[in-house]
Amino acid sequence: CQECGKSFAIAVRLAEHRRIHTGERPYGCQHCGKAYRSFSNLWKHRKVHRQQLPGEGVGGVGEGLGG
């Protein structure tokens, strides 16, 4: 990282890390608007919405992602 000198073996991890410095949060929840720096954090957050509506499913969750 040019900002803090931290190094990463995987380029994607560097890109995610750089968002700490830029404040960028490109992965937004379509249900509540919360935004995250990484897709994995958004994916974890989506569980909140699945738990709110047990058995009903939430439109759009998992669509296009194989499930």
Please give the model's pTM, rounded to 2 decimal places.
0.63
Task: List all residues 6 or more positions away from 39 whose beta carbon is below 8 Å from its beta carbon.
Answer: 27
**What's the topology of domain 11-52?**
Double Stranded RNA Binding Domain (3.30.160)
Q: Provide the 3-class DSSP secondary structure of residue 35.
A: strand
Domain boundaries along the sequence of the chain = 11-52
The pLDDT value recorded for residue 54 is: 58
What pLDDT digit, counting tens, does each position of 11-67 carry? 999 999 999 999 999 999 999 999 999 999 999 999 888 877 655 555 554 444 443
Extract long-range pairs of 32-37: CB within 8 Å, 24+ residues apart. Answer: none
